[in-house]
Structure 1
Amino acid sequence: MTEEKEIKVSKTDPDSGYMIRDGKPEGFFYLDHRTVDAKYNLITDVHVTPGNVHDSVSYLSRLDRQQERFKFKVEAVALDSGYLTTPICHGLKNRNIFAVIAHRRFHPKQGLFPKWKFIFDAERNVYVCPASHELNYRTTDRKGYRQYASDSELCKTCPLLEQCTQSRNHRKVVTRHIWEDSKEWVRNNRLSKSGKQLYRKRKETIERSFADAKELHGFRYCRLRGLHNVREQALMTAAVQNMKKMAIHLDRLERRG
């Protein structure tokens, strides 16, 4: 019998979601997922969800909505580490959009080798461990992860066993998503010269946009309860910010003229 995951529901605002994130306060919140353009820092999309909805869930659908509605020709995007998922990397690559996504650090169990120590040989479809032993393909699970397993008979006598796995059968298993190539493509983008320049630009655009909303427009707290009301506040705040941006831009053009 499988246990059902308990979902906390607020008694005062059932539309909100209970959020638990590193470095963030824990509790019932809403999240504003917004998009800004790199040239003028105008907000092009606002989407509000309960706090327990991951950033990446609605990203591709919101991106497609903007392209269809406004006829945007999106050439490149810069995202934080919360969007570093295989489906998003695959989706952006298929859309021919240059994607730069911040690196997310995964911490292996203390004393064990990190995954990057296991080298993937694409031609032979095997992983090679730090002791130069092969992990052969075994199966693919329902989530699209291929499993590569070591030979337990070889692992038993390996001097690196304690640094490799704690499994009782002495077998090391490494997983690789069927779209892992897309994730590696994003990583190469991030390390490129143009990718580094694009990501630096992110601090001046989306981060600045959120900071201005909180500090200058009272967007640190929801004024009313309910998803509909919070969405209205988010849209009104974005509209005011855009008006200010347009006024500043028009003033600069007039002065140049």
Structure 2
Amino acid sequence: GTDIFEQLFYGVLEQCVEAKLLDTSEVFIDGTHVKAHANNKKYESKEIIEETLFYVKSLQKEVEIDREKRLKKPLKRRKESENQIKYKKVSKTDDESGWFHKGEHKQVFAYATQVACDKNGWVLGYTTHSGNQHDSRTFIDIYNKLQSHFSLDKLVMDAGYKTPGIAHLLFQNNLTPVFPYKRPMTKKGFYKKYDYVYDEYYDQYICPNMKILSYTTTNRDGYREYKSKAVDCNSCP
């Protein structure tokens, strides 16, 4: 393979930067699927090595540090921390494509492509992956391209990119992630998350009924868990 086309692509963008045509203060990233020119009935099942998500090792280290500070035992390492071998459908016609579930009753071999644009609609970067990879897994590739060529401030993305790992990566690099708002999925009769007040000094939460939720643990996903006493909840109005 050759990267000559990519060199030409970024050569043109460098001229756009010099002409002050680009505005990378807000960059919009989205992905879509493109059907592969492959027969859906001609495939074989193969063992595929699936790499761990880009933020797993960093997350594990931070969880270990947080638990150690709070005198908690280290967690046992789980399988997701290492590359996994999975069986997947591989096209005999185009083995670089991926088996994509297009709908409830429709599956095809396809490619997943990501595109990033500036505020004026200029394409700043693109990546192409097999169609069976999620946006949260492929994000790191287009992010690295953008970081190496442009000065960034805000990244605007849809719900497919809304993961703690991506948000944490951007905050670490002083960038602002902009995701769509998701309404709380609280069960009827329970307080919503925003009803609780965090007491930073004592590291605890206070519920609307003025009861305390104390720290109990930091889980594998990096979330600190706070819980109330059963007797307090039983007497809740």
TM-score (norm 1): 0.49
CA-CA distance at 1:54 after TM superposition? 2.4
Residue in 1 aligned with 2:170?
92
- Selected match of 2:125 from 45, 54, 71: 45
Q: Does 1:36 align with 2:36?
A: no
> Which deviations, in whole Å up to 9, do the C-alpha atoms of 1:157-205 show, x marking residues without a partner?
222xxxxxxxxxxxxxxxxxxxxxxxxxxxxxxxxxxxxxxxxxxxxxx
Pairs aligned (count): 152
AA matched with 1:18:
F
Q: Distance in 1 between matches of 2:147 and 2:170?
A: 13
Q: Does 1:57 align with 2:154?
A: no
CA-CA distance at 1:85 after TM superposition? 1.9
Distance 1:17 1:150, change over 3 A: farther
Is this contact kept in 2: 1:36–1:42, CA < 8 A? yes
Q: Does 1:9 align with 2:89?
A: yes
Partner-residue secondary structure (3-state), 1:9 = strand
RMSD: 3.3
Residue in 2 aligned with 1:113?
191
Is this contact kept in 2: 1:9–1:18, CA < 8 A? no
CA-CA distance at 1:142 after TM superposition? 1.9
AA matched with 2:127:
H
CA-CA distance at 1:93 after TM superposition? 1.9
Q: Does 1:81 align with 2:154?
A: no
Q: Distance in 2 between matches of 1:20 and 1:150?
A: 43
Is this contact kept in 1: 2:204–2:214, CA < 8 A? yes
Q: Distance in 1 between matches of 2:227 and 2:215?
A: 7
CA-CA distance at 1:110 after TM superposition? 4.0
Q: How does 1:1-257 map to 2 (within 5 A)?
A: 9=89, 15-19=97-101, 27-28=107-108, 29-39=110-120, 41-68=121-148, 70=149, 72-159=150-237
Distance 1:16 1:60, change over 3 A: closer
Q: Distance in 2 between matches of 1:25 and 1:32?
A: 22
Distance 1:158 1:67, change over 3 A: closer
Percentage of matched positions with identical amino acids: 28
The runs of 5 or more residues in structure 2 that have no matched partner are: 1-85
Runs of 4+ in 1 over 4 A off after TM superposition: 10-14
Q: Distance in 1 between matches of 2:176 and 2:142?
A: 17
> Which deviations, in whole Å up to 9, do the C-alpha atoms of 1:107-145 show, x marking residues without a partner?
233443332222222232112223221110001112211
Instruction: Write 1 or 2 for the structure with the bigger share of strand.
Output: 2
Distance 1:119 1:31, change over 3 A: farther
Residue in 2 aligned with 1:162?
none
